[in-house]
Structure 1
Amino acid sequence: MPDFPKDHMLRIDTKNTLQESFAQMTNLMGRIPDGVPIMINAINDQSAIGMLRAVKQAGRQADVIAVGNGADETKALVDEPELVAATGYFPERYGNYLIPIALSALAGKPLPPAVLVNHVMITKANVCEYYKDYKCGEKPSFEYKFPQAEFEAHLASLKGQDSLKGYETLIPSK
């Protein structure tokens, strides 16, 4: 959101833990006037959940939405109405990206300057597609707008760069 005012962003050091994010957000709540919307985004799901719990403890759950990162706190994603989504990047699948790189290195081929990893926005509506132990919830009344066409065009432009010639198989496609 390039036009979002910088003075409306409050940053805290969560130390990437639920406990520290809860403590820091509790301290921060006094600076956020009642009725002002609160949007939480964090380095991981644990930090997002800690901040969300602090907001709820302050009685401000009507003012907050949160987005996690990692999608590894699936129960919270399903159960917490204010936790609307989490980015899933599935590190258990990194081998699908790393093995071709390792084989290229072993074969003496030069390596690409970057390898793109696919990420997915996990919501209550699609959680069952990625985590079979959970049922999918209802679709939200709004639509998540990921610029898929622009992203695919960006990938295509990377595949066409001279510096990446020969690495097309290492840049994941759909």
Structure 2
Amino acid sequence: MPIKPRPTHTTHRATPAAALLAAAAGISGCAATASVEPAPQAHDPACADMMLQLPENLGESQQRPTDSQGTSAWGEPSDVVLRCGVEPIGATDEPCQRIDGVDWVFIEQEDYYQAVTFGREPAVEVLLGLGAVSSATAMPALSPAVAEIEQTSECLDYEQTLDGEGVEAEPAPPAE
């Protein structure tokens, strides 16, 4: 099922949820260009390098041009939308999964799944329409390109947080 945006007024600044939905909006009719809201850090050079590595196809959905920097879309209407330069996600209770060397935090929304990289800046966001291209197809295909962005931290699993493994302790204050 393609991602269907809610109508928004152009005179108002979009809320984060509306911006995510608007990011998936394709121009109606026969136009092949997808209208995607750029992320705040879409101009980051790391985004440009990563964008050049993206696959042309995700499953049976073909990549198509978008009207903004640091974005890509597959399928018509958009089954999958990628935005580079989104706000990095911090500590979260949402599930995190490492796929081909990239940590992705998955957040289920009402009409789509949202996946955001963890431990990479600029962060990358992928919106997957429910019933469209599966995450099992899309994420392994996108991860090699996203891996071009330097990883600075990684997700910890439940046992690591309990055992303290992988958690760096705060340095002790200097002795007086």
Larger Rg: 1
Higher share in helix: 1
- If the length of structure 1 is used for normalisation, what is the TM-score? 0.27
Higher share in strand: 2
